[in-house]
Structure 1
């Protein structure tokens, strides 16, 4: 299928070249008013976000920022998504289509003031079933002039796995409750049947209910603020500003695309296996056809959809295309429907990035869609040269666990104790950040105190691992090493999907970041203990995923054996088991031997790089003891010059 989001008249004069009269004729107001109104609408979605964060009960919203707010235009404008919050990218990219598809299917003529329409079907609106879209029409003089929207992750939406995060579910029927477009509130009154449908199928209705109420109030607030802006500036200026916002994005992206040399560029990224067995790998393959101001992103050679729910839908793939091209070509492009106007997306039906129901299903969608970003980076970095951006850690290595406390209370922990956060790659501007989230996400990192308060766990270790940033003139971000000690028996669902080959691709001569892995350390005597990081410490581990030495079970990407993450569909762990997750490293930018020796010395002092790694990867000879005398470290300049010469 081929998708172009909005038609564009490329013969139109660029916005900056419009006269004042031409601008007013196109957008229904002057430039100053459009700029002011655009910023005021940004305030609307940020105000809603702040209120929701303050009131949220579910930890995945409260601690992870797992939601987004948008404003879309009316049907006569083809529902453009013109304003987005500073929040979750995988939600923002799909919300324009989600709103259009839900409203068109339900029928815009049936909507009334005070209605809230919901839908969570991944095939109608992207994402997965836990991510529910809430859509509220905004009326002016009896007609719909906008939609104010929120998408928020619900802690559980039924299915065979508490919380939903699992790669082992086989089809949409195991995945969870699917809600077609239907009203949750009708003219301001709750629809009892819809509430009952949801809470009869979910495990934690007590946390979902107050979040639903808060979402309703934030939508009320958003509508009130939008109506206030319409009253102040007029409906023509408001509607024109929505068009202006999308046109601005389209124009800036069009100019960014034009700077890329014409040509056909190929890239790929690997997902190790699905949740059924390790007999199949899944490779995302992309060909970018760049001509003039247009680019076609062809994913049709991507492998067929997985047999378990690690797939994503075509709308998620479209989101990742927008994220990748924005980051590589112009990070200042505003993320609106206009972002994709000069981008065509080509997919074949039924691939891992264009899944079709019922088999396979969509749950861990950000993993497959994140691989789309990696594949585009792989394709474009060679042609972008110094403008290239190195890759990130690739997989969130998502952890989901549940069990009973000693007094019999049920507990759950989701997306807190795996490798959900990790490094980015380096750029021409500097080293990669060592602790953030995937390029397609924008989450917060839950506080350790919150994690330990809500679940029977202690986070023993959360640190940067040495020698794990991709070498370069600018170093990739370091991998994150996290140890979590679980006090009670637990059912653990572990999903590290990209440990076979580096996800942190290099840029402009930089080297990739190394791969990570995941292990369980049972307690043979039931005692609680710390686990070391030397190779010998892994002998008593149970490998979950990674390419590991068969004897020591330590990382060995060159000669090791692959361990399959779902060899146990549910990892049943005894009390006082330690879960260790090591993420992949971020890619490096530029020739490593061009890195300033003083920067390498600083990395050794801060234990981003070992003394051996400084010599091996950067040709810098550092003398001293970084543990016992970090301030006494020095560079052997003569030995460094000789080593770099060799």
Structure 2
């Protein structure tokens, strides 16, 4: 076989492998019980070689899930041991330090055998609606309060599900049918991947993935290193202030480029918090690497080889919180890590990096119940919402778009279907994008009311209320967020709070920062903003 023929053959197999992981992810989307998975795509799916190195990921998925999953498979292999792995096995954990950073994410790993030979692994993750404890919120003082902890263990052995584990889960969560249903969806997702992979290998005549893996990793690594070598050499610092829980939290990063290596150091960030906003380093690394790839190698496949080009270091602090620190809403601080890293990169690559955006999702967990003396039903409802992205060099920021998480918008009909609430308003928020040559993306205004005869407690997991997104290269900051009731009562951006019957919760989501001098914004663009209602006040009002 000639080199050219081999190259074509490998490329065809690479494309087939991508199809395998895409079908794996679609299985999870189509069978999941939780709206956060089936509607928002808060998941990941991927295939790994026998050493636990990620070969390919599904396009559907968040960086926080994908890049932590890429590291987690190695932890599964070390804990279970190859001698204890059998066809039909599935392994599970929600360990924040070995999985995805908090207890609400379930990671499942399944070995893929061709006959009796281990040829790889499939892994997937998903956010489930409840894991018990205090619920999805920042109020816990340790991980022990935040829900049930599942160490790395077998969900199924040789195809037989661990019934005792299922009973234990059911006894510890508020929505047992949804949660257990998602466990089975995750297991099915990996099983579909395994069946498609072994069918592909049988069709092509492969007995292992070694040659294909070498093809993928060699080319990915070479392409990534070429991009890194083209960067300016040096080190650049950035700091970013966030709302924190009850006091501001400062994040700090230094990005260094030396030869074919890019390194992020988070020394100088705030100490570990007593609240559940801490971030295990596996999650910090996931989003730092994502930010670096967005600028340096956005078109190069995300796999073990491309991720290996970026290294992360952090002393014990809020971005490297040790066990048993509370970490339930680690995504709030974690989603700000890309803005932190991109701010440092912007100094190395002036004019090439987008402005800061809303960053952290404005997730809200509502625990709905009948009001005193009223009949009705209880429900746990999780809703994902997005503010505006920062303006980009050459174009306005995207409005109501989840960056860096990449999750999809959850339809209000699907959210209302899960429990007794009414969403009266969900619309773009005028004047929330920062002014500039390119305008920041708009946030949203969302208005939620418990159904008649009901009330709800909600967990606020919001940021950019006191520290709005900063503009870049002369661009103005985006609008800050706001949390209040319809009677004007101002609420906190974090923590469990109450919405009584008959009242409405109104969320004003933050906008993205602008890019470039506002004086350079074309008049046609300003006229379009006014016509579309994106801007009401105008630049001189």
Q: Tell whether the structures are fold-level matches, with TM greater than 0.5.
A: yes
Q: Given that residues 229 and 238 in structure 1 are in contact (C-alpha distance below 8 angstroms), is that contact kept between their aligned partners in structure 2?
A: no
Confirm or deny that 1:437 pairs with 2:402. Answer: yes
- Distance (whole Å) between structure 1 residues aligned to residue 364 and residue 115 of structure 2: 49
- Structure 2: how far apart are the matches of 1:573 and 1:386? 45
Work out whether residues 381 and 508 of structure 1, in 8 Å CA contact, stay in contact via their aligned partners in 2.
Answer: no
Shift of 1:251: 2.9
CA RMSD of aligned residues (A): 2.0
Report the 3-state secondary structure (helix = DSSP H, G, I; strand = E; otherwise coil) of the residue aligned with 1:543: coil
Question: Which residue, 271, 284, 304 being the options, matches 2:251?
Answer: 284
Task: Give the stretch that moved more between structures: 184-193 or 421-430.
Answer: 421-430
**Whole-Å separation in 2 of the counterparts to 1:141 and 1:450:** 42
What is the rounded CA distance, in whole Å, between the counterparts of 1:340 and 1:48 in structure 2? Answer: 22
Aligned counterpart, 1:177: 148
User: 1:391, 1:234 → 2: CA distance?
Assistant: 49
Count matched residues. Answer: 535
1:250–1:480 CA distance, 2 compared to 1 (3 A): farther
Please name the residue that 2:538 is paired with: 613
d(CA) in 2 for partners of 1:251 and 1:391? 31
| Aligned CA distance change for structure 1 residues 570 and 426 (closer, same or farther; 3 Å) | closer
Segment drifting more, 333-342 vs 242-251? 242-251
Whether contact under 8 Å (2:143, 2:328) holds in the other structure is: no
Aligned partner of residue 43 in structure 1, secondary structure: helix
Instruction: List runs of 5+ in structure 2 lacking aligned partners.
Output: none
What is the aligned partner in structure 1 of residue 47 from structure 2? 71
Tell me whether 1:326 sits opposite 2:326 in the alignment: no
Pair 1:407-2:375 in alignment: yes
Aligned ranges for residues 207-286 of structure 1 at < 5 Å?
Answer: 207-235=178-206, 238-274=209-245, 278=246, 280-286=247-253
Matched, 1:373 2:373: no
* TM-superposition CA deviations, 1:505-557 (whole Å, max 9, x none): 33343333222111122xxxxxxxxxxxxxxxxxx411124xxxxxxxxxxxx
Q: Is this contact kept in 1: 2:169–2:180, CA < 8 A? A: no
Aligned residue number for residue 550 of structure 1: none
Do structure 1's residue 35 and structure 2's residue 11 form an aligned pair?
A: yes
CA contact (8 A) 1:382 1:388 kept: no
CA distance in 2, matches of 1:106, 1:595: 58
Which residue matches 1:571? 497
| C-alpha contact 1:388 1:508 (8 A) present in aligned 2 | no
Question: Does the 8 A contact of 1:268 with 1:374 survive in 2?
Answer: no
- Measure how far apart 1:239 and its partner are: 2.3
Q: 1:36 to 1:122 in 2, by over 3 A?
A: same
In the alignment, the residues of structure 2 paired with residue 229 and residue 182 of structure 1 have an alpha-carbon distance, to the nearest angstrom, of: 29
Distance 1:293 1:507, change over 3 A: farther
1:361 and 2:335 aligned: no
Instruction: Give the distance between the partners of 1:252 and 1:508, measured in 2 at CA.
Output: 30
Match of 2:318 in 1: 352
With normalisation by structure 1, the TM-score equals 0.79
Residue 320 of structure 1: how far off its partner (Å): 0.8
Q: In the alignment, is residue 594 of structure 1 matched against residue 520 of structure 2?
A: yes
Alpha-carbon distance in 1 for matches of 2:283, 2:467: 23
Q: Distance in 2 between matches of 1:212 and 1:382?
A: 44
Alpha-carbon distance, 1:438 to partner = 2.6
Query: What are the Cα deviations for residues 593-632 of structure 1, in whole angstroms up to 9, with x where unaligned?
Result: 222111110101111122x42336xxxxxxxxxxxxxxxx
Counterpart of 1:53 in 2: which secondary structure? helix
CA distance in 1, matches of 2:214, 2:321: 32
> Alignment partner of 1:325: what SS?
helix
1:135 aligned onto 2:82: no
1:94 Cα offset (Å)? 0.5
* 1:196 and 2:167 matched: yes
Distance (Å, rounded) in 1 between the aligned partners of 2:395 and 2:220? 26
Conserved? CA contact 1:394–1:584, under 8 Å? no
Spell out, residue by residue over 1:47-71, the C-alpha distance to the aligned partner (whole angstroms, 9 max, x if none).
1222222222222222221211111
Partners of 1:506 and 1:31 in 2: CA distance: 45
